[in-house]
Structure 1
């Protein structure tokens, strides 16, 4: 597997599929990444008088979730705030906003895309049958099983971009370092995002480092969507099979 070739192809695709359009003082950046409605994610950028750069989604992400029926209860608002804090953004009148220096714009834009995708994933919580947050369920499960972990770990990939992983299971005498991503909604965009981050992160970690993906299969979906992980030396754990001995062995020290 030619990792560098794959990264170059990814960056070429990202550059080719990204377009810009000026709207008054803002530049509208249309990315190839899709939200849960299969709309391209857009970011709006402008230069401030002090030389800093402001990024915003113009309120589209949160307002789309509200239109889909998501009620931002106290717990859901706390979940939203946690995502914003993780990626370094704030919320003002439903707008996701970030300020950065011009030289740090590429990294800030990259982090904003991750934030938007993570917040957009909350659309599943609009369904009445969802009673708790997948992330919180995972933490509770780890604690019950005495599985030791660290949360919200960031790594700089070979490209220089920073990627956030939900959990890290540390290396032991018996187990390698294991990075973990939780996928609440196994959409094509969510799976591609995880794979892109792993392809970029893997070359700068230990040779025996592994990726574990935990998928919420509470709702039915095509298991064929997960076959791509097999091509990238990735272990997949379905939430419904979390208590199996195989799953426990993958996660434990």
Structure 2
């Protein structure tokens, strides 16, 4: 590649940065944007030992949490710690920062920026990872609120087929068996497959329609059930509950 093109790009990139003096620090607004379209901003301050600190001022994790990303799950903690270790970035009370000598500023700034961008990708995680994050969130909520059920229960249906249900709350008094599945997508095919599974389970020897019910907790941040999905759920007598509706979820206990 022509070196002049690289020089032109670097000069252009440099011109996209905005630096403002604040009380005790410098605010650097970069040309790179995060998943919600805001320019990534870092702050540089001098320390008493002559070194400098670069920080995101709590923005990265704070913005993601406002978008519904829960960093208290085991899966996300491992993901976050992996990024922090890879880029040698510290995280204290959800603030991302690096410290070092002034001469190290370019390398420090690069490490912090890469970590911020990687962590910000959690909002746009691949579908298969997003599914595991969502399930981890629900399982943690159930455990924290002592739902007293079983994870990944495997009931048999009338056909003899063995199914996997994400969570089951046992029969108790007037409370029926509750078979609960978690799904990111509340599409017609997902609801219809769940209905067929429940129909087979509910007509087996162990469970029946009078002592059991099937519930689907869907991730409303990804999708909401269509009119067609709601109709098929009603046909199979399935309860659809949004993950946002914690009061209805708590009523399942």
For the pair shown, which has the larger CA radius of gyration, 1 or 2? 2
**Which one scores higher on RCO, CA 8 angstroms, separation ≥ 6?**
1
TM-score of the pair, normalised by structure 2:
0.49
TM-score of the pair, normalised by structure 1:
0.49
